[in-house]
């Protein structure tokens, strides 16, 4: 695929053909993705290829728990898991989890995560992350930037081979249980579960904001940027 095309049209794919993904293809994808950048080139990511069906089901169950929380937040009109949510908003969202549970059908992606042709758990050794914002007393965002470009490269490399997929993070809500399942030591984080496979259909048009809406000159409140 042409790079510009890939950048503009690589949307989330959650519905896959039953065709399996060969280990050789998966290896090639990771072999391309490993050239992703990371702070200090520490490459703190680890990838666990989850093939065992009991492991997959257990991860799906953790994913579902996070997913229902996500939906409950949406039902409450919140930005799910936003650091801006007040304790009261969080409590109100928690009450709606049962409602959210009823909204996930057995054929929906969260319930079928274990059926994804390929399932990767991407984890990170936190001690290796260059989290330059760690001392600011606010929610940290820079550390993840040494991991998620790698995950995005997995999705782009998959796209180049006719596959599609999605990076997911709601299972991180249950990181403790996931750590036990995956054998993660203390100080090691679950960053994403990535589902990959041959798409049943590909998104053609992605909904994204135009440049003018998120780019300004000189200051955040500066003039909108356009040539
Ligand atoms: C950091 C991150 C976390 C995400 N977590 C989830 C997730 O837990 N579950 C999911 O189904 N999709 C997840 N996504 C996929 C987004 O929903 C998707 O990229 C976005 O809605 C754009 O969708 P589109 O490509 O179909 O336009 C995540 C994406 C990113 C970048």
CB half-sphere exposure, 199, CA atoms < 13 A: 19
Ligand 1 centroid to Cα of residue 168, in Å, is 6
Q: At what angle do helices 53-75 and 87-94 cross, to 10 degrees?
A: 120
Q: What is the pLDDT of residue 84?
A: 84
What distance in Å separates the CA atoms of residue 196 and residue 59, rounded to the nearest whole number?
15
The verdict on the CB of residue 10 being under 6 Å from ligand 1 is: no
Q: What is the pLDDT of residue 203?
A: 86
The verdict on the CB of residue 98 being under 6 Å from ligand 1 is: no
What distance in Å separates the CA atoms of residue 61 and residue 59, rounded to the nearest whole number?
5
Residue 194: which of 175, 174, 169 has the closest Cα?
A: 169
Q: What is the pLDDT of residue 206?
A: 97
Structure tokens at 147: 């991991």
The verdict on the CB of residue 141 being under 6 Å from ligand 1 is: no
Nearest CA to ligand 1 atom 9: 168
Is residue 171 scored above 90 in pLDDT? yes
Is residue 53 scored above 90 in pLDDT? yes
Minimum mean pLDDT range among 9-18, 91-100, 137-146:
91-100
78-123 tens-digit pLDDT: 999 988 888 898 888 889 998 999 999 999 999 999 999 999 999 9
Residue 151: which of 119, 109, 188, 192 has the closest Cα?
A: 192
């Amino acid at each position: 695929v042409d790079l510009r095309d890939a950048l503009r049209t690589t949307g989330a794919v959650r519905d896959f053909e039953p065709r399996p993904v060969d280990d050789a293809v998966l290896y090639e994808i990771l072999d391309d993705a490993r050239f992703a950048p990371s702070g200090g080139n520490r490459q703190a990511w680890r990838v666990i290829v989850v093939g065992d069906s009991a492991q997959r089901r257990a991860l799906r169950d953790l994913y579902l728990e996070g997913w229902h929380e996500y939906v409950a937040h949406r039902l409450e009109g919140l930005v799910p898991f936003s650091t801006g949510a007040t304790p009261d908003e969080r409590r109100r969202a928690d009450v709606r989890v049962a409602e959210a549970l009823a909204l996930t059908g057995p054929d929906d992606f969260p319930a079928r995560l274990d059926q994804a042709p390929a399932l990767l758990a991407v984890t990170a050794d936190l001690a290796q992350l260059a989290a330059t914002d760690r001392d600011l007393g606010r929610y940290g965002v820079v550390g993840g930037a040494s991991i998620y470009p790698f995950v995005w490269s997995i999705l782009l490399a998959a796209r180049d081979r006719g596959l599609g997929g999605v990076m997911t993070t709601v299972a991180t809500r249950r990181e403790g249980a996931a750590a036990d399942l995956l054998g993660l030591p203390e100080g090691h984080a679950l960053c994403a579960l990535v589902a990959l496979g041959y798409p049943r259909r590909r998104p053609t048009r992605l909904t994204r904001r135009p440049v003018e809406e998120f780019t300004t000159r000189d200051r955040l409140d500066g003039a909108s940027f356009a040539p």
